[in-house]
């Protein structure tokens, strides 16, 4: 599979772990969380219990740091008792605030790559999560002036991509969607008619993991900087 | 002050407490929360402490039920000790989930009013809060097919209204912004050039309260149904 680069007029990018580091911050926070439960649960047990809580809460809470923080608190309160539970919950509130205030660190070459693409392509961001948190990260990233459009959505499925492309009034085959999550960024955008580029990241959250298809309908790149090779 | 109704082509509505009940649900939840602290704090003290926590967290957490839930948990953990603190935090998680799952109850006459306006005006929603929660309420309300545009934003100030009106490519003087919050819905939209209609609601959150100006630049209505009188 290769891209039909001649048709591409719009390059859409996922944000977390495509433009900047995100999952490593979550993984680090999770490890601090597991340590709070270590008298009661192994790291593996704590991981399973947190993941189950997050999945049970997903429809109610949605994605993002606040949801993650609430699920960590719930898991701790269901694992620990008395003052130990209260102390863990206080600590988790701090972990959540720290995560929300983590400075944005761009992935290598991101800014230079986008600056080289911007004379030839319309650039846009399509990302999911907390509205305020994503706005703040975009602002902090310094990349905002490069993007003609920013869409922050509560989930990324085929119908969401379809309605975004329709609202933009752009033919999906003229759109390249780029991201680190096969499940959220690439496959549903491709199903909505766009072209897709997948840039795997090592630290993907379990919920974002999915099987690689045998006959991929997207290209796989090693890094965002590879867009220069395929698009310029 | 009266509206220049002839110029209006777009009627924009706030959602919470303009289209459906919201603040009464928060106030009820707050009373249940105060009861959890009653051995340590009077209702008034608990109210003050919660409000201070919410204001301290506003920049980090933003608006919405998840932020409110996290601030209630923080207040409880800073007020109570040991198992009493843990028990209160568990109960607050339930209060937050219940609030997120509260069925949408439209205010009287809302649906009929919007249906009568829709042949003559473009209707839109501009609301702030949790992305997922606001999407769900719009979906549950049954009103979604009436709205040409829905904007869910993290805050409502003059520059946010300006950029929305610019993105729509509509002259602000052709827009009427309608809502229950003078501070978030009416004054900043009017400052961005739109016309404004304020429909006060009794239960407004302290943070949304502001002085009524002596020479108002907006109209004040008793209920959304009054739009029919001024617009048709």
| Residue A207: per-residue pLDDT | 79
Q: Which of A77, A82, A130 sits opposite B90 (nearest CB)?
A: A77
A223 pLDDT exceeds 90?
Answer: yes
* A82 touches B: beta carbon within 8 Å: yes
User: Looking at beta carbons, which residues of chain A come within 8 Å of B132?
Assistant: 61-63, 154-155
B205 pLDDT exceeds 90?
Answer: no
- Residue B140 vs residues B51, B110, B136: alpha-carbon distances, Å: 29, 14, 6
| Residue B24: per-residue pLDDT | 93
The domain spans of chain B are 5-20+105-231, 23-100
Q: Which of A66, A89, A96 sits opposite B89 (nearest CB)?
A: A89
For residue B7, name the pLDDT band (cuts at 50, 70, 90). Answer: very high
| Residue A215: per-residue pLDDT | 85
Locate the chain A residue with the closest alpha carbon to B94.
Answer: A74
The number of C-beta contacts closer than 8 angstroms across A and B is 96
Whole-number percent of chain B with pLDDT over 70: 100
Taking residues A56-78, report their average pLDDT: 96
On whether the CB atoms of residues A124 and A149 are closer than 8 A, the answer is yes
Distance (Å) from the alpha carbon of B109 to chain A's nearest alpha carbon: 29
C-alpha atoms less than 13 angstroms from C-alpha of B209 in its C-beta half-sphere: 6
Predicted TM-score (pTM) of the model is: 0.89
Burial B20-35 (b: 16+ CB within 10 A, else e): bbbbebbeebbeebbe
| Residue B210: per-residue pLDDT | 80
Taking residues A77-94, report their average pLDDT: 98
A202 pLDDT exceeds 80?
Answer: no
Test mutation, B40, B73, B132, B148, chain A, max A CBs within 10 A:
B132
User: Looking at beta carbons, which residues of chain B come within 8 Å of A92?
Assistant: none
Q: Note the pLDDT tens digit of each residue in A155-169.
A: 999 999 999 999 899
| Residue B232: per-residue pLDDT | 92
CATH architecture of B23-100: Orthogonal Bundle (1.10)
Q: Note the pLDDT tens digit of each residue in B157-188.
A: 999 999 999 989 999 999 999 999 999 999 99
Q: Which of A78, A101, A155 sits opposite B60 (nearest CB)?
A: A101
Fold of A5-20+105-231: Rossmann fold (3.40.50)
| Residue A7: per-residue pLDDT | 97
């Amino acid at each position: 599979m290769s891209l039909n680069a001649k048709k591409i007029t719009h390059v859409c990018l996922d944000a977390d772990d495509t433009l900047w580091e995100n999952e490593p911050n979550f993984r680090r926070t999770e490890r601090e969380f597991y340590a709070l439960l270590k008298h009661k649960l192994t790291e593996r047990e704590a991981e399973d219990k947190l993941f189950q809580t997050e999945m049970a809460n997903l429809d109610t809470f949605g994605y993002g740091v606040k949801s993650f923080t609430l699920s960590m608190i719930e898991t701790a309160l269901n694992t620990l008792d008395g003052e130990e539970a209260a102390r863990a919950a206080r600590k988790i509130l701090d972990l959540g605030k720290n995560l929300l205030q983590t400075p944005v660190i761009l992935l290598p070459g991101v800014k230079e790559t986008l600056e080289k693409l911007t004379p030839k392509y319309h650039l846009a961001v399509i990302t999911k999560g907390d509205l305020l948190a994503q706005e703040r990260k975009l602002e902090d990233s310094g990349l905002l002036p490069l993007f003609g459009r920013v869409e922050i959505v509560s989930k990324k499925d085929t119908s969401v991509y379809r309605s975004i492309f329709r609202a933009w009034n752009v033919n999906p085959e003229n759109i390249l969607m780029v991201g680190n999550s096969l499940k959220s960024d690439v496959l549903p955008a491709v199903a909505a008619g766009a072209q897709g580029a997948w840039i795997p990241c090592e630290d993907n959250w379990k919920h974002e993991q999915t099987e690689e298809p045998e006959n991929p309908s997207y290209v796989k790149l090693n890094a965002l900087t590879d867009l220069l090779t395929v698009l310029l």
